[in-house]
Structure 1
Amino acid sequence: MSRLRTAVIGAGYLGRFHAQKYAALPDSELVAVVDTDLERAREVADEVGCEALSSHTALNGKVDAVSIVVPTQAHHRVALDMLHSGSHVLVEKPMTVTLAEADELIAAARDADLRLQVGHLERFNPAVQALVGMVSTPMFIESHRLAPFNPRGADVSVVLDLMIHDIDIILNLVGQPLRRIDANGVPVISDDIDIANARLQFENGCVANVTASRVSLKSERKMRLFQHSSYIALDFQNRSLDVRRTSGPIGGGQIPEIQSDKQAFPSGDAILAEIEAFLNSIRHGIRPVVSGEDGRQALATAIEITRQLSEHPLPGQTQTAGDCHNDEADNR
């Protein structure tokens, strides 16, 4: 089969990695790197041996698929232009600023029979992929995503900066409608929410307690999941799973036997796996691993959490959380 003509729109920190992956894949012909800063586009394009452009509209009719790695406020406009030009789209998370924008992208992709994938990169962590096959009916989930302060993500709340990763994974694992969301959080260093907690209650009774902080002294990304007869601890950073299962009947005053299974997974290239999955969905005409609908669901939950943080500050809190229409940190 002929190679897919690809391009990367946005030549910043993540865009450079996307360009490198497309250039390395045998079924991809990287046509161009695009950035409004043409010098930056040229710098990355020279590294990977393709053309540099300053406008994404110059790609119309020249590419089959694109990665959109620009600031969130531009996601909708750029992605819609590329879908209307006939290109499949991989857009970074969060997919858009508003739900109306997300709905328009989903409809445009559906009407044109194009793939729309959202860049929730943590789904391609090998430990997360292994976890999916172990989960049946989770009843309680607890996640902690902690990081030291980084000014690059400080222009939005920690919900869109960090928590949205765990929101997406939890929604995918539970697979049930949300019944209730309760959230609180506070600004500590920045002018927006820096540490937040959300309690997600699902229609089937499952509860998820989600905490995210960007003012921690250490970096930690962990999730614990409880379901009938088993407990699973996931460490995103170390790519490991600790699975505990009961063996034999429970009752009669006896402590059940606990079987332990610890698994560690080799370090992988999540961005490469994400792009390979995107191209595979195009080749075979199948639903992307992280579809537009998945991205919208995570965005809707993050927006509701952010709304609560903005409208119901904690007692004594003088600063307000960022509006739910704020942009994600400039990922360039």
Structure 2
Amino acid sequence: MANSLLRIGIAGCGQAARIHVERLLKEPDVKIVGCADALRESAQALAASIAETSGESPAVFGDLRGLLDQRPDAVAIFTPHLLHYRQAMDALQAGVHVFIEKPLSTNAQEADDVVNLARGRKLKVAVGHQYRLRPSLVEARKRLAADAVGPLRLVTAALAQPWLARQQERGGESSWRFDPKMAGGGLLADAGDHLVDALLWTTGRPALEVFAVQSRLPSGLDVVTAAAIRLEGDVAATLALSGVSRGSLFELNFFGERGRIHATDALLEVDPGDGSPVRRVDLPEAAESVDANFLAALRGLGPLSCSAEDALDTVRLSEAVARSAATGQVVPLI
């Protein structure tokens, strides 16, 4: 497959799909062969956009089954989160590689099923945890692994965005993302999944137990989540997510015995802890996108930045946070 045309199908044709398709079409030897969406108008609109860019018009389908009949090499899934599991399983059973926009699943058992089926069929499943490719987090992970600030003792992770206000301004077109009872799975499963994955991936430590609280609007929309987490090695971590902030924030702070590392999605600062000034680290440009990484892995040119197996711990921790918030109990993960 290294030098051959890759035929890709798109499941779910909203805004996220448009962003990823634009990246896919910039890569050589890629053809979008079909677009599927329960709202056929969305599939038609995306297909028209692809035709305008590439000169080739993909087939349009109202469901994944028709798309799989085209026998693509891979399917990229951008549907609401609670649909990820069934569609990934259907694609794998059809012998097709899969890219899934995060989260892999909102259910740990389902995520495990996807991993096992992919392993059994010898197929690749990539998960769109794009923050693993951010130079700031890549460098933070390297420095933590090298014990740059001494033994790690505490991690704080925070994410805040004015999502709720934006959706109200737009007429609530994506309010499903905040509702745990609907296809989005709530704030934690949506934007929060990036932060959960970044916390676990940069530290390289699985979570052992968690206690969490959540607050929601009277309508049921999930808007704030906070959790205290014990990571392997008795490292304490806090996680805070807000969808009702007036501004935006994505940051992690790693407190070691000799200093501190502060990372956002775009910068990295190191406090050596010896009284000298905090130093901002020069970072390179991002080397690749998750889409380019997926295509390279299909061609045997390198590993996936985040496979389904890699994403299992993130799904497990997110599920445990939600369970703890619902029950008011500490939830173990081992």
**Superimposed CA distance per residue, residues 223-271 of structure 1 (whole angstroms, 9 cap, x where no aligned partner):** 11122433111122xx11111225xxxxxxxxx35364313657769xx
- Say if 2:58 is the partner of 1:51: yes
> Which amino acid in the other structure matches residue 147 of structure 1?
Q
Q: Distance in 2 between matches of 1:98 and 1:154?
A: 16
> What count of residue pairs does the alignment treat as equivalent?
300
Q: Is the 8 A contact 2:224 2:243 kept in 1?
A: yes
**Superimposed CA distance per residue, residues 65-118 of structure 1 (whole angstroms, 9 cap, x where no aligned partner):** 121001122211111111112211011222123222211111111011111111
Residue number among 160, 170, 185 corresponding to 1:146 in the alignment: 160
Q: Is the 8 A contact 2:271 2:279 kept in 1?
A: yes
Residue number among 254, 261, 267 corresponding to 1:240 in the alignment: 267
Q: Is the 8 A contact 1:189 1:215 kept in 2?
A: no
**Superimposed CA distance per residue, residues 250-300 of structure 1 (whole angstroms, 9 cap, x where no aligned partner):** xxxxxx35364313657769xx70011111122117542111122221111
Q: Could you say which residue in structure 2 is the equivalent of 1:37?
A: 39
Q: Could you say which residue in structure 2 is the equivalent of 1:3?
A: 5
Q: Distance in 2 between matches of 1:214 and 1:165?
A: 14
> Which amino acid in the other structure matches residue 123 of structure 1?
R
> Which amino acid in the other structure matches residue 282 of structure 1?
L
Q: Could you say which residue in structure 1 is the equivalent of 2:99?
A: 90
> Which amino acid in the other structure matches residue 45 of structure 1?
A
Q: Could you say which residue in structure 2 is the equivalent of 1:63?
A: 72
**Superimposed CA distance per residue, residues 32-63 of structure 1 (whole angstroms, 9 cap, x where no aligned partner):** 22222222212111111231321322333621
Q: Secondary structure at the match of 1:160?
A: coil
**Superimposed CA distance per residue, residues 209-232 of structure 1 (whole angstroms, 9 cap, x where no aligned partner):** 111111112111111112243311
Q: Could you say which residue in structure 2 is the equivalent of 1:326?
A: none
- Say if 2:83 is the partner of 1:74: yes
Could you tell me which runs of 5 or more consecutive residues in structure 1 were left unpaired when the two chains were aligned.
Answer: 247-255, 314-332
- Give % identity: 24
Q: Distance in 2 between matches of 1:114 and 1:121?
A: 21
Q: Distance in 2 between matches of 1:189 and 1:195?
A: 13
CA RMSD of aligned residues (A): 2.3
Q: Could you say which residue in structure 2 is the equivalent of 1:134?
A: 143
In terms of mean alpha carbon deviation, does 212-221 or 92-101 score higher?
92-101
Could you tell me which runs of 5 or more consecutive residues in structure 2 were left unpaired when the two chains were aligned.
Answer: 52-56, 181-185, 330-334
Q: Could you say which residue in structure 2 is the equivalent of 1:214?
A: 243
Residue number among 309, 313, 320 corresponding to 2:325 in the alignment: 309
Q: Distance in 1 between matches of 2:203 and 2:106?
A: 25
Q: Distance in 1 between matches of 2:257 and 2:104?
A: 34
Q: What is the CA distance between 1:190 and its match in structure 2? A: 4.7
Q: Could you say which residue in structure 2 is the equivalent of 1:202?
A: 231
Which segments of structure 1 move beyond 3 Å, counting only runs of 4 or more?
Answer: 263-269
Q: TM-score, normalised by structure 2?
A: 0.82
- Say if 2:29 is the partner of 1:15: no
Q: Could you say which residue in structure 2 is the equivalent of 1:280?
A: 296
Q: TM-score, normalised by structure 1?
A: 0.83
